[in-house]
A and B are shown apart, each in its own frame.
Chain A
Amino acid sequence: MSGLEEIGLEPRASAPAALLEVEDLKTHYPVRRGVTERLMRRPRRLVHAVDGISFSLARGEMVALVGESGCGKTTTAQTILRMVDPTSGAIRLNGTDTTRLSQRRLRPLRRRLQMIYQDPYESLDPRFRVRQTIEEPMLVHGIGGSRKERHDRTLEALERVELSPAELYVDRYPHELSGGQRQRVAIATSLVLDPDLLLADEPVSMLDVSVRAGVLSLLDGLRRDGNMGILMITHDLSTAAHFADRIAVMYLGRIVEHGPAKEVVRDPRHPYTRALLSVVPKRDPRDRSSPQILKGETPNPIDVPSGCRFHPRCPIAEERCTREDPRLRRPPATGDGHEVACLLA
């Protein structure tokens, strides 16, 4: 079921292939001005958190949005969720542009779109038993009918996230669960609504190394069997390389490189991606290839550099990089779907 009939929205004329299409999305926040700045009538400045990104995601696909803090990956997710309003651009879910919907008309769509948060210690209400946490979305959306049916759905969701026997977990409080178990409960909470798209914001970064793979494999299995799309937001390139189909590398509100995960990792074309990959520590102590450490830190997204926004830190920048803003394009001798925003690639 596509869910579109249910919510009474007309699908677009041209049947979309992609589950999620993001087109030239921009999210700018005004910077809070102090009293003196207001009195001085200084102009309102903008944080260009997301500054024109486009990508798509199909059912059964996992795309990783990778980048350092402040690159706009989390704002992208929040905008897709419409917790934050976009400045311009389009977000199409199953072909419906959600950017122009009011919060009220958005509500039925929220079912299709679920978020998994980074910190499982924070994302579950400490006063709710597992049962209450998982039942809440059903109650909110008026599905699940009878108490018995909700109970069955709850148990089913727990089994799907491999917390079995489910009866053992339904009556526990979050503090009685380990980090990995909490994250599984959070995932189960999303699953009861049969979502089409999961947004996973650093789903394992707060978990112990020994349980990370379990949670990631669970997500991997869900998108394969559940016909779900997953957008994973992460700073961890190794995890992205292992679990995602495609990787989009973000820098200062833009996607700078985008392509099949293995290809981006093995054959990076953007100097930023190359530097980022070179500083990921390797497991093998013998493999001490010299990292290419960039100086300084990501500039703040208020004063975005002219031309290519990476040029002040770029090791190979030329004069024209300071003037020309590169668009994403396919560089020569790369595979299908590999795009890079670099004038020199």
Chain B
Amino acid sequence: MKTFKIGGIHPEENKLAKEEAIEVFPIPKQVTLFVTQHLGAPSTPIVQAGDKVKVGQLVATAQTLVCANLHSPVSGTVVKVEPVPDMTGYRKLAITIDVEDDIWEETIDTTSEIRKEITLTKPEIIERIKACGVVGLGGACFPTHVKYMVPPEKKVDYIIVNGAECEPYITTDHRIMLENGEECLIGVQALLIASGAPEARIGIEANKPDAFEHLQRLASQYPNIKVFKLKTKYPQGAEKQLIKSLTGREVPNGKLPIEVGCIVNNITTTYAIYEAVQKNKPLIETYTTISGKRAKTLKNYKIRLGTSISEVLSTVGIPENTGKIVSGGPMMGKAIANINSYFVKGMSSLLFIDESESKRGVVEECIRCGKCVTACPMGLEPYLLYALATRADYEECEKHGIMNCIECGSCQYGCPAFRPLLDMIRVGKNKTGYMIRTRNK
């Protein structure tokens, strides 16, 4: 069993919804699509009020490099293209579409038949991934095609596929591996062609033995795909930690995985890539776990983008004493401030956190126990960064590696004095980053 060496924690797994098969959430009456569904610049709308659209039709295009195309997840009429509050409460430009029927673009293969043979060439695959608006579905939503625009002097040795799903509660990757494992592996094949890498390595945490065995069996037909069992340890699925676990290579600080010949993709992303490459189907859905210790129903939903969050909430019911609703995992996800918002790409869960658990403990003095230091998977000293960031000493923050922080939250999770370590480190990171950028100008 493989794992990374520095730091890490083991929170309660709470994979409550792992037995729930993926269910299709009914198509809503209206969808609202934010033009920012990914990391990078917003996409530019190419439709206006009154336009008729089909499922899979391009509605907003990527104008810059780090940006992703956006397609209509429904058929119907565009009502408006106006700013709408997103789940954090900020107003963001969005396209609202009234749903009529469910008519798909003819170019999309809507059959359920699995298409194994890849006919596209390397540049065609990358172009298709870009055209279909595929982004990383592990949480960061980084446009996938950008990762495959490898500088000519760099060589890709490994495609690393993240099936760790190290965040507690979330089970969508787990279900995708069980239900669509074969498609995922075809997607991985497409990535091998796109990158020219000789080998792909899939890492799955030991708490999903069924998914591990299933994918290992399926992968036996592909000599260039290897499946590994990983120790159940957070943050096993973090990019740099995963590369370390699967290849032993350590991405130098401040550098990207390509520096050590690796490209990392999430397992659900490989499924989206399969659909894009083999079925010409753009990314128009998100896989979302509905969970929580007191959740009324546990679900793994396939939801059309732009579906209203409150509509899903009223379908599943908000449990009594819910203090917080989190989108994404409990370690790195965002607390939802505005439930009258809409699903976006990569929104992997809706978690109900109990009132009692949602409030933080009373902050006490640091007793220098060092738990944050031993938990940090990047080998940083969170207590020190916290102090430096509080003092606004960003020069020292930089010296002590604040920019290496991956914001996994392991430090704050274990802090017995309930200190808001990550909150302050985020502030410090932000300011330090600004300082570095202005200095380099």
A, B in one complex: no
